[in-house]
Amino acid sequence: MTAFKTITTSAELDAFLNKDGLSFLYISRPNCSVCVSLLPQIKTVFEEFIEVRTAYVNAEDVPEVAGRFNIFTVPVLILFVDGREYLREARIVPIEPFKEKLKKIVNGYNAR
């Protein structure tokens, strides 16, 4: 299973997102059953996309993340391309369609 970097401060979040390339952010809360059950599935998906940097943010530890990304529910999955939001999924995320979207974006990014 892919290891996600745990982000605990806004400064760490800025440093993570201010890099070129593909970055993925998984935002959740510990008391969210959907978040807890979805995370291992998402980690498995990213085993196929090792070129994507991955991170986890607990919205309780970094509360400003909700305002920064206009988050009203969790989990929220955001893929960034060169520091800009490119794909967003929230709450109930079907794994196979998510994986197909991700594959198209990663292949397109790698082909340029």
Instruction: Please write the tens of the pLDDT for every residue from 46-74.
Output: 999 999 999 999 999 999 999 999 999 99
Q: What's the whole-number mean pLDDT along residues 24-36?
A: 96
Q: Is residue 4 a contact partner of residue 11, using CB atoms and an 8 Å limit?
A: no
In a domain, 22, yes or no: yes
Specify the pTM. Answer: 0.94
Structure tokens at 98: 């998510």
CA distance between the termini of the chain:
28
> Which pLDDT score is estimated for 1?
67
Domain limits for position 66: 5-106
Kindly report, residue by residue over 6-17, the tens digit of the pLDDT: 999 999 999 999
**Tally of structural domains, the chain:** 1
Q: Which residues, other chains included, contact 9 with Cβ-Cβ below 8 Å and sequence gap of 6+?
A: 62
- Asked if residue 89 has pLDDT above 70, the reply is yes
In a domain, 111, yes or no: no
In a domain, 112, yes or no: no
- CATH number at 62 reads 3.40.30.10
